[in-house]
Structure 1
Amino acid sequence: MSASLKLTADRSRLLSIAVASLFLSPFATQAADFGNSEQTAPEPSPPDPERFGPVRQALHDWHVVIGAGAIFQPKYEGSDEFEVSPFPFVSAEFFDRITIDPSGIEIKAFEKDAFRFDVNVGYDSGRDEDDADTLRGMGDIDFGVTVGGKATYTFGPANVFVSVDKTIGGSEGLLATAGAAISQPLSEHLILGAEASATFADDNYMEAYFGVDAVQSARSGHAQYKAGAGIKSVDLSASATYLINENWVVRGEQGVSFLVGDAADSPIVKEKVQSKTMLMLGYRF
């Protein structure tokens, strides 16, 4: 997974997604003669399972996964305090080309042999100064829309990737990530995965999330600090996916991020090693 699109240790808040259930309720209870108190309404006809067939088939063709889980992660990138955040999850793939999930929309733009290039639209949820005491007086970082691309080259169960994402609004920052990932089935039920990557951030991103200007310094009490462009973090993660049966799947992931360079030296960073744990249960159609 791309570090820019997945739930990153930069305190991205995942957005809630509502899933509506389709239902039909046949109802035929009106009496023909309201004056006849002994006339009873006809029994409702039993549900017809076949009427859900086209809907279920469409969900299967779209590779829909619906689930929910929880993330245990720092309150913000650099925090030494943690919080648990529940989240719903919906993912769907259309025409083997378009994928929609909580991180945004990914479109397969080009694929040839082992090479693939995707374009994506996502979001950066920003940061609230009320998230932690250390951020008091730092002001909020607004929500922003991200647009970018990702190039991937596959070698058997492994792949290497490079991604670039630009935020429109919010920090107005740019993130570039390079890394490698591997996914290997150990049995018909268990799949293990691992990923290693490094993320570069430009001046806008670094100043927004790690810098302290004169106004922020006066309000928060932190020393002024200018954070310049450079490598922001080195990230490692391991995952396990267990297929309970044909439909139900449970996935766990443990990630650790090492803040480096100007990000690590920021006065708002209380812990340079950031840990994130995720557990999710999903249903595949």
Structure 2
Amino acid sequence: MRNADLTCIRPFSIVPAMMIAILSLAPRPARADEAAPPETAPRETAEPMSGWDFDTASADLRSTVSEQLTFANQRLAEWKVILGGGAMIAPKYEGSNELDVQPIPFFAASFGEWVKVDPRAVSISLYELGNLRFSGQVGYDRGRKEDDSDKLRGLGDIDVGAVVGGTVQFGTDPFDFYASFSQIIGGSDGIEVTFGGDFAQTIDRFRLSAGLSTTWADGDYMQTFFGVTPEQSARSGLPAYSIGAGFKRVDLDLAVTYAVSEHWVVRGQVGLGYLLGDVADSPIVQEEFQPSVTFAVGYRF
């Protein structure tokens, strides 16, 4: 009974009420015409969460979380990551005779031989058979801006595009031969195929590498980057130029990486590129020889 209800009962009525309650609870003899109530077995009261051990469940949960964290830490420890930055001296655009200094990120990460990441793409190994390896890549093509050079005025911008592709590699240490296929989605909507070989050798703290490659591109890529439509010709003053599929360039890359300490590395790279065939004859191309120099410093985790 609520306290508010007690205030409604007068003091002199409490004693009679108690007497009536006691009499009503007292047992009385059963009459002959009354049947005895059937005996009922006492009901068993089930304990809630019967059989559940909260201490054991909590310990199991903590053990599972600990195992997952340990697994994650082990996987992260297998990543090899280098972060840093540097500068690159290179032509303002492919075919330019003007050099430009550009800041670049120095980023590389690898998970064993299966996953490799750099500023341009992510490569995932899909299948390996002896010295033969197949991998897939996802990245981007930076396109080209009209204001990259005065010589591009009137040609318009080439949008950035996503890149999906694959690579077939055959490695016999210290040599590695490959063929890669790249489909650009957006921008030129073109295709590039590169054939090449790399050599790499570690001597004390130095990592020496050299690579030779040649690149073929389809008509969409070629016309977008090296062709000149009549409309572009009217705006830029360059002669109209139509170009089809073919080999566009050959490249020689030389690089030296020096481990200053356990964590710090310094890298220098020289690229020697040369534009070929119909690409070299394009009115957009001012110079067939395309050199580049890169210097970067990175911290290895």
Calculate the TM-score normalised by the size of structure 2.
0.74
Pick 1 or 2: higher relative contact order, CA cutoff 8 A, min separation 6. Answer: 1
The one of 197, 212, 227 aligned to 1:211: 227
SS of the equivalent of 2:222 reads: helix
Name the CA shift for 1:55/1:74 in 2 (closer, same or farther; >3 Å).
Answer: farther
Shift of 1:165: 0.2
Name the CA shift for 1:71/1:174 in 2 (closer, same or farther; >3 Å).
Answer: same
Residues 1:88 and 2:125 are matched in the alignment: no
Question: What is residue 128 of structure 1 aligned with on the other side?
Answer: 145
Q: Distance in 2 between matches of 1:58 and 1:248?
A: 23
Q: Distance in 2 between matches of 1:94 and 1:181?
A: 20
Count of equivalent residues: 232
Name the CA shift for 1:83/1:56 in 2 (closer, same or farther; >3 Å).
Answer: farther
Q: Alpha-carbon deviations, 1:14-61, whole Å to 9, x = none?
A: xxxxxxxxxxxxxxxxxxxxxxxxxxxxxxxxxxxxxxxx99977542
Shift of 1:98: 2.1
Percent of pairs with identical residues: 46
After TM superposition, list the pairs within 5 Å mapping 1:186-265 onto structure 2.
Answer: 187-265=203-281
Report which of the two has the higher share of helix: 2
The one of 263, 282, 294 aligned to 1:278: 294
The one of 170, 180, 185 aligned to 1:168: 185
- 8 Å CA contact 2:207–2:257 kept in 1: the answer is yes
SS of the equivalent of 1:199 reads: strand
- 8 Å CA contact 2:191–2:218 kept in 1: the answer is yes
Shift of 1:111: 1.2
Question: What is residue 102 of structure 1 aligned with on the other side?
Answer: 119
Bigger Cα Rg: 2
Name the CA shift for 1:82/1:204 in 2 (closer, same or farther; >3 Å).
Answer: same
Q: Alpha-carbon deviations, 1:162-197, whole Å to 9, x = none?
A: 001000000001000101110012x21012111111
Name the CA shift for 1:95/1:158 in 2 (closer, same or farther; >3 Å).
Answer: closer
Q: Alpha-carbon deviations, 1:122-147, whole Å to 9, x = none?
A: 10010011110110000000010000
Structure 1 residue runs without a partner (length 5+): 1-53
Question: What is residue 115 of structure 1 aligned with on the other side?
Answer: 132
- 8 Å CA contact 2:165–2:182 kept in 1: the answer is yes
SS of the equivalent of 2:233 reads: helix
RMSD, aligned α-carbons: 1.8
Q: Distance in 1 between matches of 2:172 and 2:75?
A: 32
Which AA in structure 2 matches 1:74? P
Q: Distance in 1 between matches of 2:169 and 2:74?
A: 31
Name the CA shift for 1:250/1:55 in 2 (closer, same or farther; >3 Å).
Answer: farther
- 8 Å CA contact 2:251–2:273 kept in 1: the answer is yes
- 8 Å CA contact 2:106–2:297 kept in 1: the answer is no
Q: Distance in 2 between matches of 1:83 and 1:122?
A: 24
Shift of 1:104: 1.7
